[in-house]
């Protein structure tokens, strides 16, 4: 039997819907939709590649405070 996808622990939410929102609004929406962890990072941040189910990552432009990229894990 094949292992189950890690995505099953994630809310059924499209990360693209967060792009353009302020970091604060995006974080509020993410928690309201069931994400257990939210991480905001600068667009050029160096991060580890581990996948954490239930986490939503935001790349936030410092000058505007808006989400420019969003991804699961």
CA-based nearest residue to 26, from 62, 53, 57, 64: 57
Q: What's the rounded mean pLDDT across residues 13-25?
A: 97
Q: In what order do the strands lie in the sheet with 37-41?
A: 37-41, 55-60, 67-72
Per residue in 21-66, pLDDT (tens digit) is 999 999 999 999 999 999 999 999 999 889 999 999 999 999 999 9
DSSP 3-state assignment of 57?
strand
């Amino acid at each position: 039997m094949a292992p189950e996808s890690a995505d099953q622990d994630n809310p059924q939410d499209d990360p693209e819907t967060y792009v353009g929102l302020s970091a604060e609004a995006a974080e509020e929406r993410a928690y309201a939709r069931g994400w257990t962890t939210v991480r905001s990072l600068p667009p050029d941040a160096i991060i580890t590649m581990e996948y954490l189910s239930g986490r939503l990552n935001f790349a936030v432009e410092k000058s505007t405070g808006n989400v420019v990229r969003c991804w699961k894990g």
